[in-house]
């Protein structure tokens, strides 16, 4: 399991350091978070929950800032909105590098209803707002959408294209998937098994190894879904590689 640094404190320290060196304007911090799924209060699906409705994954997995619409299920209060009898509360708001603000769409003045930070792939920590105490919501799955876009290293030498794979539930293990190594020459089809987010250890979705079909030696190991736009892995020789999700103008073919 990788040790996680407190995000905001770490970022502020970096910004302060670069500012002291005159380079703070070079800092570009981006957090891309898969939003799809059910974000349940305290991780309990029978309680209040949040479902993000827009933008779609095809948009928000390529951006760190955007407007959102969402629905609150089984709301404990309506944040000033009229009760329409649906058992849901319509919300509008923003996502900005992990910071989320959600307002009651139909309440006078659209007061802030939920505000906080998504600090991991599955946890949304909300601060106290109005009559609402501080609380947390936990997603039951990670909407990895591995097949969306092309995964490319910074120098372009490593390029992976995954077969269709949308979402992995928390605490599941060994779910089969396929990918293609399209780094150079003819695509090489790879088999792998993915584990979902492990809640007991806060381990992100991981593929232990990607192995060429019909072979036994792994081409890549320790493949970790770090965030919605980042995968880390190791080459067969043990080199650490970071891949970023890139849009495709022409879809890459994976046999």
What is the tens place of the pLDDT at every residue in 3-42? 333 434 443 343 343 334 444 333 345 789 999 999 999 9
pLDDT at 14: 36
Q: How many domains does the structure of the chain reveal?
A: 2
Domain assignment present for residue 144? The answer is no
For residues 54 and 82, membership in a common domain is answered with yes
- Check: CB of residue 254 under 8 Å from CB of residue 180: yes
Domain boundary, last residue among 116, 139, 162: 139
As a whole number of angstroms, the distance between CA 83 and CA 87 comes to 8
pLDDT at 15: 37
pLDDT at 26: 35
pLDDT at 251: 87
Domain boundary, last residue among 114, 139, 164: 139
H-only helix segments in 145-234: none
For residues 115 and 154, membership in a common domain is answered with no
Confidence category of residue 232, pLDDT binned at 50, 70, 90: very high
For residues 164 and 120, membership in a common domain is answered with no
Rounded mean pLDDT of 210-234? 97
For residues 122 and 169, membership in a common domain is answered with no
Q: What is the pLDDT of residues 180-221, one digit of tens each?
A: 999 988 899 999 999 999 999 999 999 999 999 999 999 999
Q: Which two tokens stand for residue 194?
A: 């993915």
pLDDT at 22: 41
pLDDT at 34: 96
Asked if pLDDT for residue 116 goes beyond 50, the answer is yes
Query: Which stretch of 8-12, 102-106, 156-160 has the lowest confidence by average pLDDT?
Result: 8-12
For residues 230 and 134, membership in a common domain is answered with no
Domain boundary, last residue among 139, 173, 201: 139
pLDDT at 100: 98
Domain assignment present for residue 13? The answer is no
Rounded mean pLDDT of 124-152? 96
pLDDT at 31: 80
pLDDT at 8: 40
pLDDT at 30: 72
Average per-residue pLDDT in the chain?
89
Show the domain range for 238.
150-246
H-only helix segments in the chain: 7-20, 57-60
For residues 115 and 185, membership in a common domain is answered with no
At residue 25, φ and ψ (nearest 5 deg) are -70, -10
For residues 157 and 225, membership in a common domain is answered with yes
For residues 155 and 129, membership in a common domain is answered with no
β 65-73/49-54 pair status: antiparallel
Domain assignment present for residue 59? The answer is yes
Domain assignment present for residue 201? The answer is yes
- Check: CB of residue 68 under 8 Å from CB of residue 95: yes
Domain assignment present for residue 12? The answer is no
For residues 193 and 114, membership in a common domain is answered with no
Q: What is the 3-state secondary structure (H, E, C) of 79-128?
A: CCCCCCCCCEEEEEEEEECCEEEEEECCCCCCCEEEEEEECCCCEEEECC
Domain assignment present for residue 7? The answer is no
User: Which carries the bigger pLDDT value, residue 56 or residue 22?
Assistant: 56
For residues 158 and 133, membership in a common domain is answered with no
Domain assignment present for residue 124? The answer is yes
Domain assignment present for residue 1? The answer is no
Which three-class secondary structure state does DSSP give residue 57?
helix
User: Which carries the bigger pLDDT value, residue 16 or residue 125?
Assistant: 125
For residues 114 and 157, membership in a common domain is answered with no
For residues 40 and 130, membership in a common domain is answered with yes
pLDDT at 62: 95
Total residues found in the chain within this entry:
255
Asked if pLDDT for residue 127 goes beyond 90, the answer is yes
């Amino acid at each position: 399991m990788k040790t996680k640094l407190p995000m905001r404190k770490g970022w502020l320290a970096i910004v302060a350091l670069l500012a002291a060196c005159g380079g703070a304007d070079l800092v570009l911090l981006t957090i891309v978070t898969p939003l799809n799924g059910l974000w349940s209060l305290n991780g309990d699906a029978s309680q209040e929950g949040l479902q993000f409705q827009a933008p779609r994954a095809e948009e928000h997995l390529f951006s760190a800032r955007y407007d959102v619409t969402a629905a609150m299920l089984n709301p404990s209060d309506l944040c000033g909105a009229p009760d329409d009898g649906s058992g849901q509360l319509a919300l509008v708001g923003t996502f900005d590098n992990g910071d989320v603000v959600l307002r009651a769409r139909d309440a006078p003045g659209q007061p802030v209803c939920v505000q906080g930070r998504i600090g991991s792939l599955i946890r949304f920590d909300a601060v106290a707002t109005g009559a609402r105490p501080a609380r947390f919501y936990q997603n039951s799955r990670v909407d990895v959408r591995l097949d969306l876009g092309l995964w490319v290293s910074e120098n372009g030498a490593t390029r992976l294209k995954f077969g269709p794979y949308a979402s992995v539930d928390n605490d599941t293990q060994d779910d089969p998937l396929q990918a293609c190594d399209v780094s150079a020459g003819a695509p090489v089809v790879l088999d792998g098994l993915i584990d979902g987010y492990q809640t007991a250890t806060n381990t992100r979705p991981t593929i232990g190894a990607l192995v060429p079909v019909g072979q036994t030696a792994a081409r890549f190991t320790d493949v970790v879904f770090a965030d919605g736009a980042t995968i880390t892995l190791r080459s067969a020789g043990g080199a650490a590689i970071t891949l970023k999700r890139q849009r495709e103008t022409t879809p890459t073919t994976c046999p």
